[in-house]
C-alpha cells in the first residue's frame, strides 16, 4: 500500500476509534490545495506536515484535526489487520483497482471503499438494477428478467442487496450463472460471499452499521457502476425515486424504467428515462437509450 493510499484512509475512513474523518467537502478542499502546490508528481505521496498546512492557509483548528487524523497509524494498522482476516480489502481513489466507472461521479466519487469478494468484478462490464422493496408480481418478474439477461450476456449485475427488486435480480443473476456486485448500506463483517461470483462493496468503513443516510448515499454508486441502469418499480418518493431522478439530472448512466403504468415509473419516464416493456426486452446489450435529457452529460471524473 502506498503512502498516498494510507493518507486517504487516515483522512477519510472511519477506523472504529471514535474519530470522525474529514467530510467529503473538507477533503476535496485540502486535496485540491495540495495538488495545486506540488511541483513533482512523486511529492503527492509524502506525508503532510504542519508547515504544509500553514502554507495552504488552513485554520489552526482544521490543521490540528488533519494532523491528528494522520497520526492514527496504529489504529489504521489494527483496522486493516482485522479486515484482512475477514477477507476485506480497502480501495481508495488512488488505488489501481478503484472502479473506473465511479470517476464519472467527479467530486462525489467516494474517497474510500471496502470490498469483500472478487474485486476483479468491479472492472467487468456491468448493468445496475434498482427498485422498490415491496414489489408487485410484475415488478418482481422484471427484476428477475434483468438479472437473468445480465448473466446470459456476460454482464455483472450491480444492485443494493435490499429486500425486493435488488435481491430478486441478484438471485436470478446468480441462479443463471452470472456475477453480482452488491453495494451495501451496512458493514461487510456480516456479509460473507457465498460464491466466488459475488463482491460486496461499502463506503467509508467496513464495520459501519446500517443507516438511512448510507442507504441513500449508496444509490449514486449503484447507478454509476452500471453501463445502464434498470428500474424494476418505483414510488414517487423514497430511495429508488431519489437515486433515479438524480441519475437523470447528472447523467451517470442511461436509465431504463419498467413501463408498468405506475405513477412513479411514469414520472421517471416523463423526466427522460427510457421506457421498457418486459415483452420486448430481449437483450440488454442491444438496448439503446432513445434520448438523453439536456444537461445530463456525465461529470468529468478525476482523482
pLDDT digits (tens, 9 = 90+) for 49-104: 888 888 888 899 999 999 999 999 999 999 999 999 999 999 999 999 999 999 88
For residues 74 and 141, membership in a common domain is answered with: no
CATH number at residue 220: 3.40.50.450
- Cβ neighbors of 132 (< 8 A, separation 6 or more) are 139, 164, 165, 232, 233, 234, 235, 238, 240
For residues 128 and 63, membership in a common domain is answered with: no
Is residue 276 in a domain?
Answer: yes
Is residue 106 in a domain?
Answer: no
| pLDDT > 60? residue 171 | yes
Is residue 231 in a domain?
Answer: yes
For residues 44 and 181, membership in a common domain is answered with: no
CA dist 231 and 237 (Å) reads: 14
Is residue 99 in a domain?
Answer: no
- Domain boundary residue, one of 38, 65, 85: 85
For residues 190 and 64, membership in a common domain is answered with: no
Q: Picking from 45-54, 57-66, 189-198, 230-239, which range would have the lowest pLDDT averaged per residue? A: 45-54
Is residue 156 in a domain?
Answer: yes
Task: Work out the number of other CB atoms within 10 angstroms of the CB of residue 61.
Answer: 8
> Taking all residues of the chain, what is their mean pLDDT, rounded to a whole number?
91
Is residue 30 in a domain?
Answer: yes
CA-CA distances (angstroms) from residue 212 to 194, 217, 219, 233? Answer: 26, 9, 12, 20
For residues 79 and 156, membership in a common domain is answered with: no
For residues 36 and 167, membership in a common domain is answered with: no
Is residue 174 in a domain?
Answer: yes
For residues 7 and 141, membership in a common domain is answered with: no
For residues 188 and 272, membership in a common domain is answered with: yes
For residues 143 and 68, membership in a common domain is answered with: no
Q: At what angle do helices 137-152 and 165-175 cross, to 10 degrees?
A: 40
Is residue 142 in a domain?
Answer: yes
pLDDT score at 37 = 74
For residues 49 and 186, membership in a common domain is answered with: no
| pLDDT > 70? residue 298 | no
Number of folded domains in the chain?
Answer: 2
Instruction: Give the residue numbers spanning the domain of 36.
Output: 3-85
| pLDDT > 70? residue 297 | no
For residues 193 and 243, membership in a common domain is answered with: yes
For residues 156 and 57, membership in a common domain is answered with: no
Percent of the chain at pLDDT > 70 equals 92
Task: Work out the number of other CB atoms within 10 angstroms of the CB of residue 115.
Answer: 23
Amino acid at each position: 500500500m502506498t503512502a498516498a493510499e494510507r493518507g486517504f484512509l487516515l483522512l477519510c475512513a472511519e477506523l472504529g476509534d471514535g474519530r470522525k474523518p474529514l467530510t467529503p467537502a473538507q477533503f476535496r478542499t485540502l486535496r485540491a490545495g495540495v495538488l495545486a502546490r506540488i511541483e513533482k508528481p512523486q511529492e503527492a505521496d509524502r506525508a503532510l506536515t504542519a508547515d504544509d498546512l500553514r502554507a495552504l492557509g488552513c485554520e489552526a483548528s482544521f490543521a490540528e484535526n488533519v494532523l491528528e487524523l494522520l497520526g492514527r497509524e496504529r489504529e489504521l494498522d489494527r483496522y486493516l489487520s482485522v479486515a484482512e482476516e475477514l477477507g476485506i480489502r480497502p480501495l481508495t481513489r488512488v488505488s489501481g483497482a478503484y472502479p473506473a466507472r465511479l470517476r464519472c461521479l467527479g467530486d462525489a466519487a467516494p474517497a474510500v471503499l471496502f470490498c469483500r469478494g472478487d474485486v476483479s468484478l468491479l472492472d467487468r462490464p456491468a448493468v445496475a438494477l434498482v427498485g422498490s422493496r415491496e414489489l408487485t408480481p410484475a415488478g418482481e418478474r422484471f427484476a428477475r428478467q434483468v438479472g437473468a439477461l445480465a448473466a446470459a450476456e456476460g454482464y455483472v449485475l450491480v444492485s443494493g442487496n435490499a429486500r425486493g427488486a435488488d435481491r430478486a435480480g441478484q438471485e436470478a443473476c446468480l441462479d443463471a450463472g452470472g456475477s453480482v456486485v452488491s453495494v451495501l448500506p451496512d458493514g461487510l463483517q456480516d456479509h460473507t460471499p457465498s460464491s466466488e461470483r459475488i463482491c460486496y462493496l461499502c463506503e467509508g468503513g467496513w464495520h459501519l452499521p446500517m443507516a438511512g443516510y448510507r442507504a441513500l448515499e449508496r444509490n449514486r454508486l449503484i447507478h454509476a457502476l452500471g453501463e445502464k441502469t434498470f428500474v424494476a418499480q418505483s414510488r414517487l418518493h423514497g430511495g429508488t425515486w431519489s437515486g433515479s431522478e438524480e441519475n437523470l439530472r447528472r447523467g451517470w448512466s442511461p436509465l431504463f424504467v419498467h413501463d408498468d403504468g405506475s405513477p412513479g415509473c411514469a414520472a421517471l419516464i416523463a423526466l427522460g428515462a427510457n421506457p421498457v416493456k418486459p415483452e420486448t426486452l430481449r437483450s440488454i446489450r442491444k438496448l439503446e437509450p432513445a434520448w438523453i435529457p439536456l444537461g445530463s452529460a456525465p461529470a468529468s471524473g478525476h482523482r
